[in-house]
């Protein structure tokens, strides 16, 4: 099965002339896109914060790896189980911690992420401890990762543009009003948290398949912070923005090799600047769409913009940046 995907991948890459370095970059972009989409649903749409998503990534990665290596489970099934298991853990954790107020919830997430890492380090027999878990089959080819990222985006898009997504945004906008119109805030938050963990687990599973080797320290607090940073750079409340953010954050250091050391410094500065000076951009909450771009240029030609479109133009500009 893996061979099938990988030879298809070779055929596609050969046809398009994509070398193995570029393939690697694309795989990392896809992995980050999936993880950031999860974070985006949680932070951008529900305004919940999780410093534990790296923990969920590691749960997905280890579950998939152990199933695939030790129990010889088909990798597709292993990935699905890995992602769902991360979701299950989030569901259980959320059940007990989502009743806590804002920052108290935050610290339990953070604590959870750290606990998971310490545990994976400690359970040497199962996970190899800090020496890492080797021998994961190389299932994360470029073709497979791209297919995953496309599916992930499609599902997230439909999820957000249904009553479920509307419930999430209502919590973000005003939790008390949301409850007053019948939205169960607790269950809605838990759904968002679970969704985000499934995506994190999925991304973690692909990450393992790409490196063929995982260590607990790849999934530390800094990784969780990076996911949040990327989400903010892409724009809170926008799925297309998150995809864009993930691409920028992954590709930029590859393009400007000299800047690699300054990578996190620059991202940190970017986050602070965005929050300070571009809250309208963050408030834009607009999705990228061809239709709106056409409307934008048409209105430019007419030099007369009706009001509602004028509002969306602003969002559009924010989106492009």
Partner 1 sequence: MFLQQFVTGISVGGIYALLATGYSLIYSLLDFSNWAHGEFAMVGAYVAIVFSTMLNVPFVPAALAGIIGGAAISFLCERFAYRRIRKNGSPNMFLMIAAMGLSTVFQQAANLIFSGQYRSYPFKLPISTVHVANAYIGVLDLLSLVITAVILIGLVYMINKTQFGLNVRAIACNAPAAKVLGVKVDKSIASVFLLAGGLAGVAGILYGMKYNVFPTMGNVGLKAFISSVIGGLGSVPGAIVGALLLGVLETLVSGYISSSLRDFFSFALLIVLLLVKPSGLFGVEVQDKA
Partner 2 sequence: MSEEKNLVLEMINVEKHFGGVHAIDDFSVKIEKGQIHGLIGPNGAGKTTIFNNITGIYKPDAGKILFDGKDITGTPPHKVAQLGIGRTFQNIRLFSNLSVLDNVIIASNLDATYNMPQAIFHSKKYKDREKFVQEKAMELIRIVGLQDRVAERANSLPYGHQRKLEIARALALDPKLLLLDEPAAGMNAEESMELVEFVKEIRDQFHITILMIEHHMDVVTNLCDYCTVLNFGKTIAVGTPAEVKSNPDVITAYLGGAD
Q: Site residues (CB under 8 A) for partner 1?
A: 47, 49, 96-97, 99-104, 106-108, 110-112, 114-115, 118-119, 121-122, 176, 221, 225, 228-229, 232, 261-262, 264-265, 267-272, 275-276, 279, 282
Collapsing DSSP states into helix, strand and coil, what is residue 181? Answer: coil
Nearer to partner 2, 131 or 310 (CB): 310
- Where do we find the tokens 């893996």? 2
The CB density around residue 6, as the number of other CB atoms within 10 Å, is: 18
Q: Interaction with partner 2 in 123-162: which residues (CB under 8 A)?
A: 155, 158-159, 162
Structure tokens belonging to residue 124: 């040497």
Q: Residue 111's binding partner, choosing from partner 1, partner 2, none, with beta-carbon cut-off 5 to 8 A by kind?
A: partner 1
In the complex, the smallest distance separating the C-beta of residue 319 from partner 1, rounded to whole angstroms, is 19
Pinpoint the alpha helices (H) of 123-220. Answer: 124-127, 142-160, 163-173, 175-180, 185-211
State phi, psi for 213 to the nearest 5 degrees: -165, 130
DSSP string, 58-72: HHHHHHHHHHHHHS-
Distance CA(207)–CA(210), nearest Å, equals 5
Q: Which is it for the CA torsion 283, 224, 157, 291, positive or negative? A: positive
Q: Which does 163 bind (CB under 5 to 8 A by kind): partner 1, partner 2, none?
A: partner 2
Measured from the CB atom, the residue of 13 and 197 that comes closer to partner 2 is 197
Q: Which residue has the tokens 């169960």?
A: 184
**178 touches partner 2 by CB under 8 A:** yes
Q: Is residue 221 a contact residue for partner 2 (CB under 8 A)?
A: no
Contact partner at residue 182 from partner 2, partner 1, none, CB < 5 to 8 Å by partner kind: partner 2
Looking at the Cβ atoms of 272 and 310, the one nearer to partner 1 is: 272
Which partner, partner 1, partner 2, none, binds residue 272 by CB below 5 to 8 Å per kind? partner 1
264 in Cβ contact with 311 (< 8 Å): no
Is 220 one of the binding residues for partner 2 (CB under 8 A)?
no
- Helix axis angle, 53-70 relative to 75-97, nearest 10°? 140
Which positions lie near partner 2, rule CB under 8 A?
Answer: 155, 158-159, 162-164, 166-167, 169-170, 173-174, 176-185, 237, 283, 285, 307-308, 311
């Amino acid at each position: 099965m893996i061979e099938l995907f990988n030879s298809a991948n070779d055929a596609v890459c050969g046809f398009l002339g994509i070398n193995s370095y570029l393939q690697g970059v694309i795989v990392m972009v896809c992995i980050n896109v999936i993880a950031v989409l999860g974070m985006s649903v949680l932070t951008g749409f529900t305004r919940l914060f999780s410093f534990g998503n790296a923990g969920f990534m590691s749960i997905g990665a280890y579950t998939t790896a152990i199933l695939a290596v030790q129990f010889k489970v088909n990798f597709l099934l292993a990935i699905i189980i890995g992602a769902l298991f991360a979701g299950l853990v989030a569901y259980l954790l959320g059940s007990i911690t989502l009743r806590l107020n804002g920052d108290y919830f935050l610290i339990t997430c953070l604590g959870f992420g750290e606990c998971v890492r310490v545990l994976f380090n400690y359970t040497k027999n199962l996970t190899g401890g800090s020496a890492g878990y080797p021998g994961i089959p190389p299932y994360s080819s470029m073709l497979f990762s791209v297919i995953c990222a496309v599916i992930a985006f499609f599902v997230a898009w439909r999820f957000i543009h249904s009553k479920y997504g509307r419930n999430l945004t209502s919590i973000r906008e005003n939790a008390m009003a949301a409850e007053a119109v019948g939205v169960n805030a607790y269950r809605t938050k838990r759904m968002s948290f679970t969704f985000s963990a499934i995506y994190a687990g999925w991304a973690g599973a692909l990450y393992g398949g790409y490196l063929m080797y995982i260590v607990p320290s790849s999934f530390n607090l800094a990784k969780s912070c990076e996911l949040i940073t990327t989400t903010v750079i892409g724009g809170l409340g926008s799925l297309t923005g998150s995809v864009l953010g993930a691409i920028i954050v992954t590709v930029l250091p590859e393009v400007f090799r000299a800047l690699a050391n300054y990578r996190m410094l620059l991202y940190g500065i970017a986050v602070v600047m965005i929050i300070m000076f571009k809250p309208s951009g963050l408030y834009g909450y607009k999705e990228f769409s061809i239709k709106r771009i056409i409307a934008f240029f048409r209105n430019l030609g007419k030099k007369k913009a009706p009001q509602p479109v004028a509002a969306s133009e602003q969002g559009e500009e924010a989106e492009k940046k």
